[in-house]
Every structure is written in structure tokens, then in C-alpha cells.
Structure 1
Amino acid sequence: MSTSADLRITVAGAGAIGGFIAARLAAAGTPINVLARGQTLATLQRQGLRLVTGDSCRDLPVKASDTADDFGVQDLLIIAVKGPSLPVLAPSLRPLIGPQTTILPTMNGVPWWFCQTGQGYTPFALKSVDPDGSIARHLPTAQTLGCVVHIGASCDAPGVVRHAMGKELILGDARGGFSPRTEAIAALFERAGLDIKRSSDIRQDIWYKLWGNLTMNPVSALTGATIDRLLGDPLVSEFCSAAMREAAVIGDRIGCHVDQQPEDRHAITFRLGAFKTSMLQDVEAGRPIELDSIVGATYEIGHHFGMQTPCIDGIFGLTRLMARTRGLYPDETRPTPAAG
């Protein structure tokens, strides 16, 4: 890979995570293109991207547009949009992707390629994540990296990102292993001050993070409770544990063993204090929720293998109905497998 000053890099989505990564790269002297729209686009074109960390504030130049054709083929495409947006967005990203382009989704939950790269079963597409296959058609898995994000950030206003805590990314090839191409991306991010963990089995890392988010996100969205209150209620905590035990069995079936008990994970999460999950924040802000990639995909994988998952099913159904009544999830029912 070329030096960072010569790289062509586009970040699709300038929300909290995309904006933070773009800002860190720009601060390290890497030219950054940003695909954005609305007020965010106007702000980026007028004054650049603002990064707030503690009491410090820095404005960083980026080239912003709402049209991929303005940038052309890129060396690295970082996708940082909400899951529900990607099936519609993916076709518009094609002008950015050439044979050597590396694609890096920095998104929550299970990605579209997740069940097409595992071993021990016949690969299958996840209808919950990629309903009509448009993501897979336009974003080649062979050029895609897997990523797990451990960054706490928020948007104070369009084009203004506030960093709260954490700056870790876990990276690995979507098809397994850790290639020279992935190492080059890892080195690029390290030069920008990010903490990078290299993974030879990124599916395992994705599933482990999902194992916790599967319950904390939707249950907090349903109840409006911060995590300390959720885990402080014995009945709710045990229900979440039961759903996590179901997810652990699914993980074993797809080669993503979780070597931890739900109660141990709860203890770690509880120490983070009274925080609101991203899904609860989305509900309170009236934004569409990332239900399918976190809960819907888990439900789909379990039922694909004929597993009974009553707790996961309940979480999925209740959260979906709650979101539909608020206009935060499509009214139509996406194709889902019959119960096994």
C-alpha cells in the first residue's frame, strides 16, 4: 500500500464512528473523502470535520460530497452507516470500488458475509441483513475486512464528533486469517493513533461482541433503562442470560464458541455504569434501529439450523413491534425462516 498521503480513502457516513475515524486519519495527515448528505454534508463542505475530545476541539479538513462519482476508485472504503441503510446505499458505492479496493465496514452486529465464510456447514445468505442480496452483489467479500469497533463517540451536531472513550478496532480478513493487505490497513490506523488488535478469526470476535449486544441493546430499548438498572433487576438479568445461552449454542454450531458465562459478561458490563446503549439512544432520538443485524440475524441463524430459541424469538418480536409502533422499523415483514 502507498504512503498515507498518497492513499485514496473514502469514509461513507460521517456519524459518530465514521466521523471519529475520519478525523483521526485526517489529523495524521491522510487526505480523506467523506460521503455525507443533508446538514452534515453542508457543515463538512463549509468548515470541515470537528473532533471534540475532553476540553480540546480541532477542525480537520475533508473533501465531502453526496456523490461517489466525485471521488472515483479508492484504495480504502470505510463504511460507517447504520445497518438499515446499507442495502440501499451499497449500489451507489460501486464507483468507489476497483479490483484492489479494500472494503472495511465498521458497523454493529453480524455483517452480510458472516455465514458465507464459515466452515462446517453449507454457506447461506442472511436475508435479515441483506434482504435482496444487493449488498453481496456490490461489495465483494474477497475484498472485505471484518471489523469490531470498541469506540465510544457521539455527534454533538452535524459534522461535530465527540470522543468519549476507547479507540480500539479489531481487524481480520472476512474469509479468515490476517493478510498483508489487512496489515497495511492496521498500520495506517496505528499511525493515526488508533489501537489495533489483529485477529486471525474475526468471525469469532464479531460473535463475541454480538453475544453481549444481543440482549443489552434491545432490552434497554424496550424498557428505557440504563444498563446498571437492567442488570440490577434479577428477573431481567436472568432473562438476558437465558437468551445469551441460546446464542452460545448457535455460536458453537457456526464455529464461534464463546468461552464465558453470561453472568461473567454481565459483571464486566455492569462496571461500565449507568450508560445508554446505542439502540436506546436511537429510539429516544427517533432514528431507525439496528435490530436486524443484531437480533434478527441471530434469530435467522438459529432457525436455519432448526434450533429452538424462545428467548431470542421473544426479544426479536417485542423489539420489532415496539419499533414499528414508533415508525423506527419497516412495517412489512421481511422474509424470515420458519421455526425449526
Structure 2
Amino acid sequence: MRIAIMGSGAIGGYLGARLAGAGQDVTFIARGAHLEAMRRHGLQLESPRGNVSLPQVTATEMPSDVGHVDIVFFAVKLYDNEEAAAAIVPMVGPETRVVTLQNGIDSVETLARWVPPSQVVGGVAYISGYIKEPGVIVHAGGATQFYVGGHNDPVIGALQTACTRAGNIGLEAVEDIDQVLWTKFVTLCAFAGATSLMRSGIGPVLADPEARIFLGQLRDEGMAVAKAAGHPMRDGYEADARSRWQNLPPDTRSSMANDLLLGKRLELAWLSGRMHALGNELGVPTPAHTAVYRALHLYAKGAEP
């Protein structure tokens, strides 16, 4: 398959490295030092599930140079959505599927303004990773699970086959991707809010009684917002979320927490900020998410004020 990775950070870099290492035709779209490193030295993936070393990769800053592809993995930061969505248009042919693997619940709607809605496939990624240095992606451990829409879509079926052959990519096509998106949204907003506001990995948050209560409040508020929006969490969700957090390496932080520490822009407006806005719209109190949103708002554009 011809595959383009729009946003070659932790998620896109992991997928692209595994697929390219298995012989798929992968183009990485990146910028800055990360792009330059890939052009000079290729891409390295460090993972407890097996490293991948790619001395040469196809990498560019210009999606318009790529041509039509079978799959675009859309994995840019949410604040870059509109610019990136416009940029991928030249890569989208009549049979292309654009698979969004972003945080939040708004990516499909955003992409559908630029790409035919029938070709946009919602998705979520359960993976913890980061860019260690330009050209080097680290998978921090834990799950490497991806859920996408497009159940019974032959193009998505071919992608599943490619992921299975690559190994260490659990990609599952589901019938109700909206519910999967909302479940990830509720889970991630709590995880991101807690690890960012407390400047801590998930292990210490779970070990401390007061921090653990706050994490639970964030989760419960998200559940209430989801229910009011028509997407209630399934029975047993609380235990599933707790188990997912407990199974992460103790020092694991959300990508937003890592960005905060590095002085980068934050996806705050699309996570706890979105919960805050939805709570106001739906009449659901969200004091914990509102606290996260207001406390971190000074840092939303990056660096310290």
C-alpha cells in the first residue's frame, strides 16, 4: 500500500516505522529538525516490542509532492488541524482513506470540510510514546492498539492486513467508531488533565489518595458529559479505565503533560477545555476539568508566561 504519515511524531512515527520496516511504501510528512534528521539518517524506533532501524526513509515537508496514496494517517497536533487538513488534499484520490488518529472528538468533522466525508475514517490510538530526539521515536511500553471505523471497507481491510504483517500494530475496524472516540475522549481527558496539572507520571497519581480522587473526579465528569451528549459509557467502564492506567509504566505522562514540560503548545482547548465548554452547553457541572482548563490556560500557547 501507499501510505502517507501526516504528522510523524510518536503515533505517526511508530506506525510508519513498523509499516515501512515491513516493506510498505510509506512517506513521512514532517518539518524542522525531525524532517532533516530523517532525510540524513533515516528513522529509528525504540520499543520494548522490538526496535526498528530504517537507514533511509521517504520524508518531505510538502504533501503536494507525494501524489495520491491509499491511506493518509492524520496524526498532527489538534491546533494544526485546519492547516494540515488543507495540505493533505493533493494526496487524496478517489479511493484514498484519511484515517485520523488524534485526540478529542472533533477531527472527523474538521477533515470532512476538506476531504469527502465518505473518505474520512475516525480512529483512536492507545499508545504511549514520544520523540526522543530528531529522527528517533520511543515507544514507552504498554499497549499498541488502534481502533478505526470503516468496518467492511475493503481499503481498511487491506490496511488491517498490512498492519498484521508488520507486527506489533493491533488495528481493529469497528462498527461504532463514535462510541470508541467518546470513550477515548473521556479516558484521555482525565489522564491528560491529571498528569499535566500535577506534573507527574500516572504511577504517583494513582498512589496518592488525594491525587487519585482528583483523577476519579475528572473521569466521572467526563462520563456525565458523555451521557448528556448521547454517548454514555458502557457498564464497567470505570474499572476498565482504572486498569488501563494501572497497566501503564508508572512514569508515563500524557502527551499534553510532556508538551507542558517542554514549553510547547498544548491541546488543552480540545481536552479539558472542550469538557468545560460541553459542560456549560449541556448543563453538566465540570469543576475538575474547569480547574485544569483555567489553571493551564496561561501555558496553552507554549512556554511560561
TM range (shorter): 0.7 to 0.9
Instruction: Tell me, yes or no, if structure 1 residue 183 matches structure 2 residue 160.
Output: no
1:69 equivalent in structure 2: 64
Matched, 1:300 2:277: yes
Q: What is the CA distance between 1:268 and its match in structure 2?
A: 4.3
Does residue 222 in structure 1 map to residue 197 in structure 2?
yes
Instruction: Report deviation, 1:26.
Output: 0.8
> How many pairs are equivalent?
300
Aligned-partner Cα distance in 2 for 1:8–1:48: 18
1:13 to 7, 25, 47: 7
CA distance in 2 between partners of 1:39 and 1:213 (Å): 28
Q: Which runs of 5+ in 2 are unaligned?
A: none
Judged with a 3 Å threshold, the aligned counterparts in structure 2 of structure 1 residues 160 and 322 are, in CA distance, closer, same or farther, namely closer
User: What letter is aligned with 1:143?
Assistant: Q
Q: Distance in 2 between matches of 1:20 and 1:269?
A: 21
Paired amino acid for 2:104: G
Q: Pick from 150, 159, 162 the counterpart of residue 135 of structure 2.
A: 159
C-alpha separation in 2, matches of 1:169 and 1:320: 30
**In 2, are the aligned partners of 1:110 and 1:297 still within 8 Å (CA)?**
no
Distance 1:34 1:225 in 2: 31
Does structure 2 retain, via aligned residues, the 8 Å contact 1:19–1:159?
no
Matched position secondary structure for 2:95: coil
| Structure 1 residue 260 corresponds to structure 2 residue 236 | yes
Note if contact 2:264-2:301 (Cα within 8 Å) is conserved in structure 1.
no
- Report if the CA contact (8 A) 1:91-1:138 is conserved: yes
On the 8 A contact 1:218/1:319 being kept in 2, the answer is: no
Q: Supply the distance in 1 between the matched residues of 2:204 and 2:295 (Cα, whole angstroms).
A: 20
- Equivalent position of 2:84 in the other structure: 89
Q: Which has the larger radius of gyration?
A: 1
Shift of 1:207: 1.7
Per-residue deviation, 1:12: 1.1
Which of 11, 21, 24 is residue 18 of structure 2 equivalent to? 24
Question: How far apart, CA to CA, are the structure 2 residues paired with 1:48 and 1:195?
Answer: 24
Corresponding residue of 1:51: 45
Contact 1:105 1:145 in 2 (8 A): yes
Structure 2: how far apart are the matches of 1:285 and 1:62?
A: 27
- Structure 1 pair 293/140, CA: closer, same or farther in 2 (3 Å)? farther
2:80 counterpart of 1:106: no
Q: Deviations over 1:167-200 (max 9, x none)?
A: 2211213xxx553332222222212211122311
Aligned equivalents of 1:303 and 1:139: distance in 2?
31
CA deviation after TM superposition for structure 1 residue 37, in Å = 1.3
Quote the Cα distance in structure 2 between the aligned partners of 1:264 and 1:10. 33
User: RMSD value over aligned CA atoms?
Assistant: 2.5
> Do 1:31 and 1:62's aligned partners in 2 also have CA atoms closer than 8 Å?
no
Matched residue, 2:166: 192
Counterpart among 283, 286, 300 of residue 309 in structure 1? 286
Distance 1:302 1:141 in 2: 28
1:106, distance to aligned residue in structure 2 (A)? 1.7
Contact (CA 8 Å) 2:112, 2:120: kept in 1 or not? Answer: no
* Bigger proportion of residues as strand: 2
**Matched residues in 2 for 1:307 and 1:83: separation?**
24
Confirm or deny: 8 A CA contact 2:260 2:299 kept in the other structure. no
Mapped partners of 1:198, 1:8: distance in 2: 19
SS in 1 for 2:5: strand
CA contact 1:23–1:60 (8 Å) conserved in 2: no
Q: Distance in 1 between matches of 2:55 and 2:257?
A: 30
Tell me how far apart the structure 2 counterparts of residues 261 and 12 of structure 1 sit (CA, whole Å). Answer: 32
Structure 2 counterpart of 1:23, one-letter code: A
**Residue 189 of structure 1 aligns to a residue in which SS?**
helix
Cα shift at 1:23 = 0.9
